[in-house]
Amino acid sequence: MSDYITAPRDIETRSFEIIAGELGPRAFRGEAEAKIVKRIIHTTADFDFADLTRISDGAIEAGMAAIREGAHVVTDTRMAAAGINRARLSRHGGEIRCFMADGDVAAEAEAEGITRAMVSMRKAARDAANRVFAIGNAPTALFALGELIARGDLAPALVIGVPVGFVGAAESKAALEKLAVPHIVTRGRKGGSAIAACIVNAILYMM
């Protein structure tokens, strides 16, 4: 066992040293962007995200400002909600919210023949305190957010759009990038709830 690093902090430190070494002299638009990309790679062990991750101008700062003002973070899965550092968020007065398991969301989705993810975004839009959205699983949630934003029904401080999959994932992210809203996306099919959570955490850790 002595041949292995066993202290959690030392493991993380060594992991980020390896990531930095393998990334080499890659240029990022500031230290904050570098930290987000490195945390995604740390979560996934996938260096493709260095090329896939796109962060709009001012998106990180907008997310931080909203969190400092007590913004709630909305996710599209309970897995993402569980992965976000709740204690750090609560220091600023914010909560993690996921409406996917709500009975009214399920009933409305069944009645309309659409996904619960879409309805959960509609529900989230009714509360102005829900200002940061972290979408890691459902492209339909991201499409629904885009429609709400385009209609002027929602003006989020930050949208983290990283749904994973083969149907609609790449397209939903491309649609988000065209909107005048601060955003962080991973282009293409790759993404996931763990990535959505780790991006929120990266922002919280920088605060």
**What is the reported pLDDT for 1?**
42
**Is 42 among the residues known to form the active site?**
yes
**What is the reported pLDDT for 175?**
97
**What is the reported pLDDT for 3?**
65
With a CB cutoff of 8 Å and minimum separation 6, the contacts of 165 are 137, 139, 189, 191
**What is the reported pLDDT for 100?**
97
Is a pLDDT exceeding 60 seen at residue 2? no
Domains of the chain, CATH where assigned: 52-206 (3.40.50.10230)
Reported pTM = 0.94
pLDDT band at 4 (very low <50, low <70, confident <90, very high): confident
Selecting among 42, 72, 92, 183, the annotated active-site residue is 42
Give the Cα separation of 145 and 122 in Å (integer).
Answer: 8
3 state SS of 2: coil
Q: Which of 6-15, 92-101, 159-168 has the lowest mean pLDDT?
A: 6-15
Is a pLDDT exceeding 60 seen at residue 128? yes
Tokens standing for residue 50: 């260095």
pLDDT band at 129 (very low <50, low <70, confident <90, very high): very high
Give the Cα separation of 54 and 184 in Å (integer).
Answer: 6
